[in-house]
């Protein structure tokens, strides 16, 4: 995908060139196939989507525009279940604040386009110009997706005893989730349901502190759990009945356990190298094959092509269950946890404690440090020579330079530094049994970036 601020590059000229590049790449690779264009509730989302659809149509592509704003999973579902489509475009994004716009390209299975496709578009973007505008069709992508959810999750009397708070963060995923819960018979309390281009001042990600409103409403309404969606429902987080957020990183092992024990699925678990070690520990606990891959959902998507992947989970907590969809779906993963609570008869807080008992509790964290572009590249080169034997009084048991620098410790704690592919940032990830230990590792990594690496070069 591509994203930029509305006041610094996300404009009609750049969007037009990117749309023309997409049209020509699809025209060469999948002639005669159609494309669906969806959009979220961001600034001029529909206007930009109409522009993209008209440019695609003008290039001879059979383009269809979503009737209404749609979450990413709905668009992905529509693409994956129509053999006449080559892919789709989402004008919108999951994790950027309201000042940013984005365009994401999806392949024929509704997931991230392959690297080769993206590279071809990048070569043309900024050069290609639309020749003419054409007429596009309209398509409802929301209702078929909601119908698929109601078919997948079967209601029973036990759901009527559950109360769930849904926080849509003023994004576009609320109606599908609320509809699916209502179908099950769950009592729903909703929050931030109105689609707003400024997200009501929220940063629409499923994480604290933006989940505070959901946590408070769960406590006030004595709900059984809460669900927080990001702006396009790519990812979600859940809140237990005590008002405590269960992070997306801890959701993944809970979903894995539910798929194995209650849905009787099996297969390989795939995750990125910067994901929580709890994913690996749960896979090992259940005897499942486990594959770590470099950062980027396209890497996990490539693994799904083998057909043996049960679940793929990335470092931000996005979950794909290929049985359902080869793309991250925050609505589906949240519904799986509602199903788990219903079938287990246990409160979510107890399920989280039992998870810690089985695989141990780990505290996951991340910090970004902004540097000049040249310094990011220079430091990325320097990292190849950094191989510490000890950090924060811990003995390093394994070192990898595949993604920058990652070191592992005996107690499953780890630390990772890697340059961002899209922004002038160094990203730091760490995980340890306690918040204090985790933060000490992150602080040490920050010091390494600011010059402390020289001591480790000498080691």
- Distance, CA of 248 to CA of 24 (rounded, Å): 37
| Beta strands in 213-336, from DSSP E residues, in sequence order | 225-229, 236-239, 245-246, 268-272, 290-293, 309-313, 319-320
- Smallest CA-to-CA distance from 294 within 265, 271, 267, 262 is with 271
Helices 330-344 and 348-359, axial angle in degrees (round to 10): 90
Report how far residue 181's alpha carbon sits from residue 197's, in angstroms, rounded to the nearest whole number: 25
pTM: 0.93
Task: Write down the pLDDT at residue 165.
Answer: 98
Q: Distance between CA 244 and CA 227 in Å, rounded?
A: 11
Phi/psi at 407 (nearest 5 deg)?
A: -120, 140
348-359 and 277-285 are packed helices; what angle lies between their axes, rounded to 10 degrees? 80
- pLDDT tier at 138 (50, 70, 90 boundaries)? very high
In the chain, the N- to C-terminal Cα span, in Å, equals: 40
Compute the distance between CA of residue 430 and CA of residue 129 in angstroms, rounded to an integer. 44
> For 237, how many CA atoms within 13 A lie in the half-sphere containing its CB?
25
**pLDDT of 364-381, one tens digit each?**
999 998 888 888 888 878
Q: How confident is the model at residue 390 (pLDDT cuts 50, 70, 90)?
A: confident
Are residues 360 and 433 in contact, defined by beta-carbon separation less than 8 angstroms? yes
CB 19 within 8 A of CB 52: yes
φ, ψ dihedrals at 264, nearest 5°: 55, 40
Instruction: Report how far residue 20's alpha carbon sits from residue 24's, in angstroms, rounded to the nearest whole number.
Output: 6
Angstrom distance (rounded) from CA 269 to CA 256: 8
- For 279-283, the CB contacts below 8 A with 24+ separation are 279/249, 279/252, 279/253, 279/313, 281/253, 281/359, 281/360, 281/412, 282/252, 282/253, 282/256, 282/257, 282/355, 282/358, 282/359, 283/256
Cβ count within 10 A of residue 357: 9
Read off the tokens for 298. Answer: 């396209």
Quote the CA–CA distance of 367 and 408 in Å, as a whole number: 18
* Range among 219-228, 380-389, 447-456 with highest mean pLDDT value: 219-228
DSSP state of 253: H
CA dist 242 to 215, 216, 239, Å?
A: 8, 9, 8
- 192-226, pLDDT tens digit by residue? 999 999 999 999 999 889 999 999 999 999 999 99
User: How does pLDDT run across 269-324, given as a tens digit for each residue?
Assistant: 999 988 999 999 999 999 999 999 988 888 899 899 889 999 999 988 899 999 99
Average pLDDT over residues 249-261: 94
Bridge partners (DSSP) of residue 91 are 39, 103
Alpha carbon of residue 327 to chain centroid: 9
């Amino acid at each position: 995908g591509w994203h930029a601020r509305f006041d610094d590059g996300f404009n009609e000229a750049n969007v037009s060139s990117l749309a023309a590049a997409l049209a020509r790449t699809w025209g060469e690779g999948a002639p005669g196939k159609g494309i669906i264009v969806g959009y979220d509730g961001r600034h001029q989302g529909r206007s930009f989507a109409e522009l993209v659809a008209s440019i695609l149509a003008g290039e001879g592509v059979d383009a269809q525009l979503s009737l209404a704003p749609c979450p990413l999973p709905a668009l992905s579902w529509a693409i994956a279940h129509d053999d006449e489509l080559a892919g789709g475009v989402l004008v919108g994004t999951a994790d950027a604040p309201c000042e940013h716009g984005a365009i994401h390209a999806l392949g024929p299975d509704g997931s991230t386009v392959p690297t080769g496709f993206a590279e071809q578009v990048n070569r043309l973007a900024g050069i290609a110009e639309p020749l003419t505008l054409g007429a596009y069709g309209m398509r409802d992508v929301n209702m078929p997706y909601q119908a698929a959810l109601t078919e997948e999750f079967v209601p029973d009397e036990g759901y009527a005893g559950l109360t769930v708070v849904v926080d849509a963060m003023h994004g576009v995923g609320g109606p599908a989730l609320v509809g699916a819960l209502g179908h099950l018979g769950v009592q729903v309390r909703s929050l931030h349901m109105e689609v707003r281009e400024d997200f009501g001042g929220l940063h629409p990600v499923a994480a604290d502190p933006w989940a505070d409103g959901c946590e408070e409403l769960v406590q006030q309404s004595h709900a059984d759990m809460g669900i927080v969606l990001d702006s396009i429902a790519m990812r979600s987080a859940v809140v237990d009945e005590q008002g405590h957020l269960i992070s997306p990183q801890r959701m993944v092992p809970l979903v894995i356990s539910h798929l194995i024990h209650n849905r009787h699925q099996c297969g390989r678990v795939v995750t990125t190298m910067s994901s929580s070690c709890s994913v690996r520990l749960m896979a090992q606990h259940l005897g499942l094959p486990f594959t770590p891959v470099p950062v980027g959902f396209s890497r996990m998507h490539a693994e799904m092509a083998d057909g043996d992947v049960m679940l793929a989970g990335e470092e931000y907590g996005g979950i794909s269950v290929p049985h359902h969809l080869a793309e991250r779906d925050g609505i589906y993963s949240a519904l799986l946890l509602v199903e788990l609570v219903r079938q287990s008869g246990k409160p979510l807080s107890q399920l989280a404690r039992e998870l810690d008992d089985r695989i141990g509790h780990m505290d996951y964290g991340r910090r970004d440090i902004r540097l000049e572009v040249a310094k990011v590249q220079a430091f990325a080169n320097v990292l190849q020579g950094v191989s510490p034997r000890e950090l924060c009084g811990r003995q390093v048991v394994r070192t990898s330079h595949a993604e920058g620098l990652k070191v592992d410790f005996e107690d499953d704690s780890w630390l990772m530094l890697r340059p961002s592919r899209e922004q002038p940032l160094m990203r730091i990830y760490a995980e340890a049994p306690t918040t204090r230990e985790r933060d000490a590792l992150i602080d040490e990594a920050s010091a390494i970036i600011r010059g402390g690496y020289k001591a480790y070069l000498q080691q």
